[in-house]
Structure 1
Amino acid sequence: MTKPHRIALLFNANKVYDRQVIAGIGQYLTSTRVKWDLFMEEDFRSRTVGIHQWRGDGIIADFDDPVVCEALASMPIPVVAVGGSYADETHYPHNIPYVATDNQKLVRLAYDHLIEQGLQRFAFYGLPPSPGNRWAHEREMAFMQMVRADGLEGSVYRGSSTSAGGWGRAQEEMVEWVRSLPKPIGIIATTDARARHLLQACIVADVPIPEQIAIVGIDNDPIAQLLCRIPLTSVIQGAEEMGRMAAQVLHQMLHGGDCSTTRVLVPPVGINVQATSLHQPLKSAYVMRAKHYIRQYACLGIKTEQVADYVGISRTLLEEHFKRELKQSVHQTILEHKLEMARQMLTDPSIPLSDVAVRSGFTSLQYMYAVFRREFNCTPRQYMENARGSVRSH
């Protein structure tokens, strides 16, 4: 029996992108029954210390990290690089196969989505310049090329690196930027983590989302979604496909294939459209503020009176604005939001029905059943089974 190849994976699995690439590598091994003995640091961090003394057969590594690029430049064993795409061909590593996420297409998907929402002003929230942020700079440049091609002026804000000590000041500066922007405007954030910071700044600035600022992130990170008060629209990278492709290329190299000039650009999978980008022009500033409040707190059991208090007008006047603008009451709008949240959770088999009821703001499971029967002519369980059956059929 042949010995398994010893392969090192140099990724920081605290990032959803890296985790998905690793998952793709695992899927390739499972589907092909390739025998690899994988090495990763126990804490899933990428470290190059001692890598030249490592007695292995191959490496797949994140080349967005310049330290990794430098450390692996002269390795005598097969190396496959994974990272972001570059507009300038000379920025790719020489004589190393490279599997890239297509930064141009990631930004294009987000930009086109915001255009489809009827927006005509756009901005980009990126990262401060640093050798490790080259991929973010590529996305920023792609954005600027797109808005210029359309004869528009795009605003770019890079903010500060995340740190506990500087967080307060960084958020204050971001709030000032958010308030200074012409509105309505669509903003693309270079990652979901940055999109979440932006979302928090908009809430602090009391700027309605998405009526005044529509936000799209990149990564479709489930952790970021859990931490956002308003569900985040995000572009889904093809990171798992990148992992599968990188594993396939390394497999070929281990069996004598010359892949030194191989370069693969993997397009995004699609876009997960949620509330932060669904821009809806509203004439009434009162309705705009009310919907902003409802998106944040509907699932906490708020009542019409609390919405009116937040907006600063009487309940009667607010109801008049809602009937005129949305053709429905404040209560109906709150209920719609709760039902939408419930429907999203019902597609996840890991969430018990009782938890769906509580987390979407219904006072009891029985009450949620009653509302579903009235609104959809089915029970939550029937809705759940239909939704999952639909997913399986696709």
Structure 2
Amino acid sequence: MTRVQTHPTPQTTHRIALLFNANKIYDREIIGGIGKYLLSTRVAWDLFLEDDFRCRLTGIERFEGDGIIADFDDPAVSDALRGCALPVVAVGSSFEDQAHYPPDLPYIATDNAKLVSLAYTHLIGAGLAHFALYSLPEAQENRWAQQRERAFTHLRAADGRSAAEIGAEIYRGLSTSAPSWNQASEQLTGWLASLPKPVGIIAVTDARARHLLQACLMAGIAVPEQVAIIGIDNDPLTRTLTRIPLSSVIQGTEEMGRTAAYLLHQMLHGARFPGRRILVPPVGINVLESSRHQPLASPYVMRARHFIRQYACQGIRTEQVADYVGVSRSSLEEHFRRELSCTVHQAILRHKLDAAKALLEQRDVSSAEVAIRCGFTSLQYMYAVFRRELGCTPREYQERPRPETSAN
């Protein structure tokens, strides 16, 4: 009997437009989720994405493609695609008011209420009793930020705060621009000074959290002893721009991208999901120094730790910390022993060790470079510290399996 040799049917290639501002971490990670869906399936898509990563809509109505996945947080995008004949999957913010969702399209949303609730619960767990939110000016393009304000308002009202009290806890500030930067910083510093201390502040993005960190550093406000800060986005670029590592809520952006790609894949084969809404919860929190609040009685220790966090890796000594605080070395040492059961030198060393561990976890940095960047006087000294404190060498630490990111 003769066997008939069969060949797999070639996949139809579909032309898909991705309308996102990929200069933003949120949009990039959604696109990454779309890409991972394509890699994990036999889907063949020819993707259109602006070369410079901006989302430019001119001529999109003449796009000769098969489908679109788009960021509907940008009102210009939703306007441009109104009445589009192609299959469209919308991605964006969640809304309290159901009328704000496009009625005729499937919509994949980041769950704003859960993002803010997770950050709020984290700050409560850090032992804080006062809370605030740093938002963005009210505007159509910032509707997602106003949704996070509402989520914060509900949480605070449930804890018995009045509308007037909650109003004082929310600050929108100015939009980021070079001409208004000094004014924005001064006003933000004034708001920070008006808040009861210690206070935990949720920023609606990591970029806004970075503003808070800068304002605290300029004003000499200790982070996290007086102001504990947590952002949203877990943006690695923002972390490189701050001297104090920034805690942040990790959005479920990859899952949003995967889900959007799956729905569009089904729609290209005839499925329809008008009005379907899928809310994607956050993944967890990357807990770093900015929100590791530890109640302290001594203002000298708070001020000293604030200085150590910024400059430990520059090779500072105990005498320099005491000079910054404005007390004698012996007096500062006594405060440290009473509050933290350690010396100032040990506190400096612990910070340098934590910084070294974080660098080694990147796997692409040499031990010698880590020693220099973390302020160790020599590579041999860093090896000695690792052996004494962790029972291993820096290289052995670097080769350990990485723990998963904290989800609480």
Partners of 2:103 and 2:273 lie apart in 1 by: 12
Which string of whole-angstrom CA distances, capped at 9 and with x for unpartnered residues, describes residues 35-75 of structure 1?
00000111011111100111000000000000000000110
Tell me which residue corresponds to 1:223.
Answer: 237
1:145 has 2:154 as partner: yes
Partners of 2:369 and 2:263 lie apart in 1 by: 44
Tell me which residue corresponds to 2:172.
Answer: 158
Partners of 1:37 and 1:90 lie apart in 2 by: 33
**Equivalent of residue 373 in structure 2, options 344, 359, 382:** 359
1:288 has 2:302 as partner: yes
**Equivalent of residue 94 in structure 2, options 59, 70, 85:** 85
1:299 has 2:310 as partner: no
**Equivalent of residue 33 in structure 1, options 25, 29, 42:** 42
Partners of 2:147 and 2:268 lie apart in 1 by: 32
Q: Compare 253-262 and 216-225 and name the one that shifted more.
A: 253-262
C-alpha deviation, 1:258, in angstroms: 1.1
Secondary structure of 2:40's counterpart equals: helix
Secondary structure of 1:264's counterpart equals: strand
1:21 has 2:35 as partner: no
Tell me which residue corresponds to 1:323.
Answer: 337
**Equivalent of residue 210 in structure 1, options 211, 218, 224:** 224
Amino acid at match of 1:352: S
Gaps of 5+ in 1: none
Tell me which residue corresponds to 1:279.
Answer: 293
Amino acid at match of 2:323: D
Partners of 1:148 and 1:336 lie apart in 2 by: 40
Amino acid at match of 1:11: F
Which string of whole-angstrom CA distances, capped at 9 and with x for unpartnered residues, describes residues 160-218 of structure 1?
00001110111011111111111111000000000000110011111101111100000
C-alpha deviation, 1:253, in angstroms: 0.3
C-alpha deviation, 1:244, in angstroms: 0.4
Gaps of 5+ in 2: 1-9
Q: Does the Cα contact within 8 Å between 2:34 and 2:257 map onto a contact in 1?
A: yes
- For the aligned residues, what is the CA RMSD? 1.2
**Equivalent of residue 136 in structure 1, options 129, 145, 157:** 145
1:314 has 2:328 as partner: yes
**Equivalent of residue 278 in structure 2, options 247, 260, 264:** 264
Partners of 1:243 and 1:350 lie apart in 2 by: 28
Which string of whole-angstrom CA distances, capped at 9 and with x for unpartnered residues, describes residues 81-100 of structure 1?
00010011111011111000
**Equivalent of residue 180 in structure 1, options 181, 191, 194:** 194
Partners of 2:104 and 2:321 lie apart in 1 by: 61
C-alpha deviation, 1:344, in angstroms: 1.7
C-alpha deviation, 1:76, in angstroms: 0.3
Q: Does the Cα contact within 8 Å between 1:28 and 1:248 map onto a contact in 2?
A: yes
Tell me which residue corresponds to 1:368.
Answer: 382
**Equivalent of residue 237 in structure 1, options 251, 267, 274:** 251
Q: What fraction of aligned residue pairs are identical, expressed as a percent?
A: 63
C-alpha deviation, 1:2, in angstroms: 4.7
Which string of whole-angstrom CA distances, capped at 9 and with x for unpartnered residues, describes residues 321-380 of structure 1?
111111110000000111111112222112222222222221222221111112122101
Amino acid at match of 2:122: H
Partners of 1:2 and 1:365 lie apart in 2 by: 56
Partners of 1:128 and 1:276 lie apart in 2 by: 24
Q: CA 1:391–1:234 in structure 2 vs 1: closer, same or farther (change >3 Å)?
A: closer
1:75 has 2:84 as partner: yes
**Equivalent of residue 334 in structure 1, options 348, 353, 371:** 348
Q: Does the Cα contact within 8 Å between 1:126 and 1:156 map onto a contact in 2?
A: yes
Partners of 1:231 and 1:185 lie apart in 2 by: 18
Q: Does the Cα contact within 8 Å between 1:83 and 1:100 map onto a contact in 2?
A: yes
Q: Does the Cα contact within 8 Å between 1:178 and 1:205 map onto a contact in 2?
A: no
**Equivalent of residue 49 in structure 1, options 47, 58, 76:** 58
Tell me which residue corresponds to 2:392.
Answer: 378
Amino acid at match of 2:186: E
Computing the radius of gyration from Cα coordinates, the structure with the larger value is 2
C-alpha deviation, 1:391, in angstroms: 5.8
Partners of 1:355 and 1:147 lie apart in 2 by: 46
C-alpha deviation, 1:138, in angstroms: 0.1
Secondary structure of 2:327's counterpart equals: coil
Partners of 2:132 and 2:23 lie apart in 1 by: 28
Secondary structure of 1:32's counterpart equals: coil
User: Normalized against structure 2, the TM-score is what?
Assistant: 0.94
Q: Compare 368-377 and 4-13 and name the one that shifted more.
A: 368-377
Partners of 1:236 and 1:29 lie apart in 2 by: 23
Amino acid at match of 1:191: T
Partners of 2:99 and 2:318 lie apart in 1 by: 59
C-alpha deviation, 1:3, in angstroms: 3.9
Tell me which residue corresponds to 1:116.
Answer: 125
Partners of 2:65 and 2:366 lie apart in 1 by: 45
C-alpha deviation, 1:24, in angstroms: 0.3
Aligned residues: 391
